Amino acid sequence: MNDHSLTGELLLLKTRRPDTRNELRREALRLFAERGYAAVSMRDIAEAVGVRQGAIYNHFAGKQDLLAALMIEHMETLILALDEALSGESGPIARLQAFVRFHVGYHIDKPDDVFIAYMELRNLEPEGRERVHALRNRYEAVLRDVLAEGLRNGAFRGPDAAVQARALIAMMTGVTVWYREGGRLGRRDVIESYVQITLQSVGIDYPIGGED
């Protein structure tokens, strides 16, 4: 009885704080993006959060599970946000413009999430990799469909919707490499620059004159 009560008190002082899981996620994300998955140790992550290494295993099954959680949750958030961003838009021109604004804005705001989802796919074990791959294809398909519709109805020009979708996504994602807050161009300028380049790339004048 006495023993039991003492144990209970000790556990109360030392056991899971509610926000530790989120702090682990955040610091793991930051460190993985900075140095790469393989170059970050569980001890590095624990130290950044202020716990001991073993404590991580109260929240995640292991290092691999932590990476998978970061990548899958990111992709699901991204796709939900995209759906919302395009929900009010109709017609290929308006939808393409909305896609670019969303994609570039999101990538400016969450560069670490995006970077990891792109770079660490090869470090994911097959199960997680398949899931992330499928989510990525769904995302790409949204842009491909917009482009295909524009090519079909004559609003856009281009060689191939699939190639153009991949080309444009790579182009826009690249913003994470060079954009820095407080630089020569602000967030809004950068987004509008990509809108112009993208619309021109499908053969549309920008600013839009009197098309479609």
Partner DNA sequence: CCTACCGATCGGTAGG
Contact yes or no for 34/80 (Cβ under 8 A): no
11/163 with CB nearer a second copy: 163
Binding test (CB under 7 A) with DNA, winner from 22, 34, 35, 58: 58
Contact yes or no for 89/98 (Cβ under 8 A): yes
Q: How is residue 185 annotated by DSSP?
A: S
Binding test (CB under 7 A) with DNA, winner from 26, 64, 91, 108: 64
Angle at 174 between CA 172 and CA 180, to 5 degrees: 105
59/166 with CB nearer a second copy: 166
80/185 with CB nearer a second copy: 185
Distance CA 12, CA 4 (A): 12
Q: Which does 16 bind (CB under 5 to 8 A by kind): a second copy, DNA, none?
A: DNA
3-class SS of residue 139 = helix
Residue 185: both structure tokens together: 């161009």
Binding test (CB under 8 A) with a second copy, winner from 174, 186, 208, 212: 174
Least separation in angstroms between CB 34 and DNA: 14
Contact yes or no for 69/25 (Cβ under 8 A): yes
Least separation in angstroms between CB 15 and a second copy: 34
Residue ranges binding DNA (CB under 7 A): 14-17, 20, 40-44, 46, 50-55, 57-59, 62-64
